[in-house]
Amino acid sequence: MKKARILGCLLFFLCGVLGWGQRQTERPYWFSLEQGKSLFRKGDYGNALLSFEDARRDRWAMYTRMEQDLIDLLSIPEVRLLGDSLAQIEPYIAERYQVNAGAALREVYFRVPRASLEGSATKALETLGHLKYYPEAEYWIGETYRVEGELTVALWQYQKAHEQRAFLENPGFDIEILYKIVDIFKIRQNYTEMEKRLLEILEQDTLWSGTVNVYTKSVMLNMLENDGISRFLTIYRYNHSLVERAHRLLGLYYYTSGRHNRAVEHLMFSFLIQNTIMIEEIIRNQYDFTFTTLDNLMAVAMKRSVLGDYMEGAEYYKILYYLGAALYGDGKLVSARRFWTLLSGSSEAGEWGGRASSQLRSPFVEQVVEMP
């Protein structure tokens, strides 16, 4: 019995391989996607778009065909008598050389954990239906329309890709898609929708989201306001680079709209994440480095080109300035002056150092009509 079982499994596997081989005469959908990315990076957007559309179409066709192969098998009267059990159906596939159905099941087993099917042929069939969707292709189609200036179509594509996020091969990529949606809403000054998407991103921030963290955030804020910047960064470290930009954009948006207390909270998180990333990067190359003060950290960071580039991309000095401005708007002048003093004494801060110096001479709440 055991030998027969092993032989049956081997035959089932071979049926899957034979079926796969018979169907691999055309170019695979993933190759079209990768070719499209290459063309996109070279600036050949027209041909890139064609490749992305080919990838989407070919994947849909491939899994539709596999879905039909499995439906055809399950429709056979003999198979219907076996019920919904894959354990009963697999030997039938092997014994009757149902190579196409075998290939379809093998593809399902490759794409999802076998245990998730719970031995059900119906669930295997449902999985094939889900695998038709190709959110990565939808995203790259959106990217192509975005660089061509077709923001309406690009937004529609990004939203479509996000709706299909459950089928992403890299689950964390849904955050990147949301940021693309945010960027379009920001360009269009549709700040209500922008805020909604940014808050959706922050659902991934376990320290930020949830009522259990209200007390922690309050303690962090009190330390920043009362004990100073250096003490705050000595006690707290938080490296969650995926959500840093969401905190940054929300902080700037809330400052612009006059909600200074909410701006402080988000800018504080952006500030903490940025500095944590910088400290950890320095320690990776200089194991004996110890954080002492923020101005010392900035001086060390600016000697490293990779961190200088990071600070520029993360709008580091701008965040320092607006965190001070938000603290001032929330009635925390002493805390605000700490940030402005740091900036005014930094030769690298540029515009933000000059604006900080103006605030130190005569503090005021900026009247901003749109996001800075």
Q: What is the CB-side half-sphere exposure of residue 109 using CA atoms within 13 A?
A: 15
Low-confidence ranges of the chain (pLDDT < 50): 1-25
Residue holding tokens 């945010």? 182
* Terminal Cα-to-Cα distance of the chain (whole angstroms): 73
Burial label, 308 (beta-carbon count in 10 A; 0-12, 13-18, 19+): middle
The dihedral region occupied by 127, where left means phi > 0, alpha psi between -120 and 50, and beta the remainder, is alpha
pTM for the structure as a whole: 0.88
Q: Radius of gyration over alpha carbons of the chain, in Å?
A: 28
Task: Choose among 99, 98, 109, 104: nearest CA to 76.
Answer: 98
Whole-number pLDDT of residue 366: 86
State pLDDT tens for residues 1-15.
444 444 444 444 444
What's the rounded Cα separation, in Å, for the pair 301 and 154? 37
Question: 85 forms bridges with which residues in the sheet?
Answer: 120
Whole-number pLDDT of residue 171: 78
State pLDDT tens for residues 24-64.
446 799 999 999 999 999 999 999 999 999 999 999 999 99
Whole-number pLDDT of residue 5: 47
